[in-house]
Structure 1
Amino acid sequence: MKTEVDYIVVGLGLAGINFVELLQKQGKSFVVFDSGENYSSWVSGGLYNPVILKRLTLSWNAAEQLDRALPVYCEIEARLGKTFDHKLPVHKKFQSYEDLNNWTIATDKPHLKPYLNPTPISNAPKGVKVPFGMGQVLNTGKVDTAALMQAYAENLRERGLLISERLDYNQLDLTTGVGYKNIQAKKIVFAEGFGLKQNPYFDSSKLKGNKGELLIVDVPDLKLDFVLKTDVFIIPLGGTRFSVGATYNWQDKTLDPTDEGKEKLLKALEKLIELEYTVVEHRVGIRPTTADRRPLVGVHPEYTQIAMLNGLGTRGIMIGPTVAHQLYEHLEHDQPLPEEIDIKRFYRN
């Protein structure tokens, strides 16, 4: 006997979760396939920060993305009865007086005023090295992506909506809608992250992938209640543990931790603190990034019942809810996708 649903969703990382959340709100039926191999979201720092601190500019569509994203995570928390969104200020370490002066200039710019505290911070916790002070970014926080994914998956599994296995592309029947074993769906959405590389239905050459490594460290004497940013982020995880990351490697696409990555992170950490620490864990993930730093969203050029939601890159917490909404509106109400995210931009004549 066939199980009939509106959607099959493949992948339950940030992209998949945000699309499934929309399906649930709109009363659509669905089933999710996820093998538990979403190595990008599992190692994500989970920060949402509207400012690119290196250049002191707003990230792409930051205001719009934040306005949509934060209520979504709040709704998920209310439904699952758990907290994932932790409001945390982000402090940028000033490297010089010139850096401090650039911050002061940036705080006068109208588009940055809502996000930058104009008053420099000179006081720092014991053992934190910030001789030129820090600047505080406003409207920031951290979503615990690992806890979110685990709780979301458990909820779907309890309701019989999650199949914990890798979807076999060879068993897809696209004659009418989407058939897969005993499931018949109207549409299928691939939200596989870097797993897109194995998908035969889409040209994955536009998904470049970016390897990131981060460390979990234990620092008993560090009293840090904010995220500290310089070459890397130090993010409080609760108690005496912190994440330090992340690296960016466009060549290596393996999931093997490297001595080079670890050494780079520890050097950056030791520039920030002068306290004893212990490395607890070394994590690796492949971010689904693109050359033009825009998501990959859209419908297959031949099979209109197949769609892709991918390429969220390093800011998936902020970007995910917006692009999921745009894809849903496109699939359900034929609303055009913004050209900058539409996969058609890569095969348009």
Structure 2
Amino acid sequence: MEVDYIIVGCGLAGISFAEILKANNKSFVVFDDNSQQSSIVAGGLYNPVTLKRFTPVWKSQEQLDLALPVYQTIEKDLGIQLDYKIAVKRRFTSTEEQNEWFARSDRPGLKPFINTTLSENNNPKIKADFKLGEVLQTGRIDTKLLIEKYRQALSNKKLIITEQFKYDKLIINANGVDYKNISAKHMVFAEGFGVKNNPFFNHLPLQGSKGQLLTIHAPDLKLDYVLKSSVFIIPLGNDLYRIGATYEQNDKNNSITQEAKQTLLDKLKTFTDFNFEVVNHVAGVRPTVKDRKPLVGQHHTHKNLHILNGMGSRGVMIAPYIANQLFNCIENNTPLDIEIDCSRFNYLF
């Protein structure tokens, strides 16, 4: 079997790269063993503003302009809805936070995304005495459904192999790679935190941050926007809401913990007052990097091996952008954004 690309990983990064390959009539096959959960359990928000400090997300407009058409194409191809337009509102806890919101609203990169008319809190189940600030151009991608249906579509076309990739079976030659009975011109590793086991790229400083999220059933809440306070509340429909997320630096597995559950519930109860039932609890390790920028590019020695990784907690927005960057770098020799080029860490050798 001969293809242009082998992709390892079928999360947001791998899917984004597969989409750009399809759009450019490049052949590919995907390996995925379901070992990485961060894309599946993600909240799925696309939000161009960092709501802790009221700062713009890196290249947020460029990311949105590339990402949303990609999800629209997948929706059309698979006959499903993935993109739910929904407002994101930040709960203010003081007049000082309100003033900071206004002060930053005219800054470059923020003006298109910040509504300077504060929202009144009309929900009796939410405590928000200092009103709410609304972020514009926001929404939620159903990442679980996306990955499930995309894998199914690849399986129907015999384009996905659901087994663990064995690095020691990879043969690298001048014109590409051979793996078992597959020959490819290029190989892209989009493994998320699983890259820690990859001998070609495990020198890169991918730290990982475990995130745990709850799903609650709350018939009395009636919230029709995403609320950000000490935790996010994300409406899912049918009186279900996702609550998240934790950021754990030391625990690097996909196991849920009672401690994290209690932490999320304690934070939720500080600004809400309603009855609910916890109906699900999930965990995954985000692929985070110490400088908070993705890891994209070519292996320092093997020029047909590439990495697409390090998206942190913003994979929905950034995955199509960095996939486009990598494809253009490989096929058109277009230089990568210097901030994301993995060669910035070559000094670690």
How big is each residue's C-alpha offset from its partner over 1:300-343, in whole Å with a ceiling of 9 and x where there is no partner?
A: 11111111100011111111111100100111111111221111
Aligned to 2:325: 326
> Normalising to structure 1: TM-score of the pair?
0.97
Aligned to 2:211: 212
Aligned to 1:241: 240
Bigger shift: 245-254 or 18-27?
Answer: 245-254
Tell me how far 1:199 sits from its aligned partner: 0.7
Aligned to 2:221: 222
Residue type matched to 2:316 in 1?
Answer: I
Aligned to 1:297: 296
1:158-307 pair list within 5 angstroms: 158-175=156-173, 176-307=175-306
Does the CA-based 8 Å contact 2:204-2:345 persist in structure 1? no
1:1-349 pair list within 5 angstroms: 3-109=1-107, 111-175=109-173, 176-348=175-347
Tell me how far 1:146 sits from its aligned partner: 0.4
> Normalising to structure 2: TM-score of the pair?
0.97
Distance in 2 (CA, whole Å) between partners of 1:338 and 1:278 is 45
Tell me how far 1:110 sits from its aligned partner: 5.3
Distance in 2 (CA, whole Å) between partners of 1:295 and 1:158 is 31
Does the CA-based 8 Å contact 1:90-1:229 persist in structure 2? yes
Distance in 2 (CA, whole Å) between partners of 1:77 and 1:164 is 23
Q: CA RMSD in A?
A: 1.3
The aligned length equals: 347
Does the CA-based 8 Å contact 1:126-1:223 persist in structure 2? no
Identity %: 49
Distance 1:108-1:170 versus aligned 2 partners, 3 A rule:
closer
Distance in 2 (CA, whole Å) between partners of 1:143 and 1:59 is 18
Residue type matched to 1:331 in 2?
Answer: I
Bigger shift: 104-113 or 160-169?
Answer: 104-113
Distance in 2 (CA, whole Å) between partners of 1:138 and 1:152 is 28
Distance in 1 (CA, whole Å) between partners of 2:52 and 2:30 is 38
Does the CA-based 8 Å contact 1:124-1:130 persist in structure 2? no
After the TM superposition, which parts of structure 1 deviate over 6 Å for at least 4 consecutive aligned residues? none
Bigger shift: 135-144 or 99-108?
Answer: 99-108
Aligned-partner SS, 1:313: coil
Distance in 2 (CA, whole Å) between partners of 1:308 and 1:141 is 28
Distance in 1 (CA, whole Å) between partners of 2:156 and 2:184 is 21
Does the CA-based 8 Å contact 2:213-2:283 persist in structure 1? yes
Aligned-partner SS, 2:164: coil
Aligned-partner SS, 1:174: strand
Tell me how far 1:270 sits from its aligned partner: 0.7
Aligned-partner SS, 1:206: coil
Bigger shift: 128-137 or 5-14?
Answer: 128-137
Aligned-partner SS, 2:219: coil
Aligned-partner SS, 2:122: coil
Distance in 1 (CA, whole Å) between partners of 2:266 and 2:33 is 35
Aligned-partner SS, 2:314: helix
Residue type matched to 2:33 in 1?
Answer: S
Tell me how far 1:274 sits from its aligned partner: 0.4
Distance in 1 (CA, whole Å) between partners of 2:22 and 2:260 is 40
Distance in 2 (CA, whole Å) between partners of 1:278 and 1:333 is 52
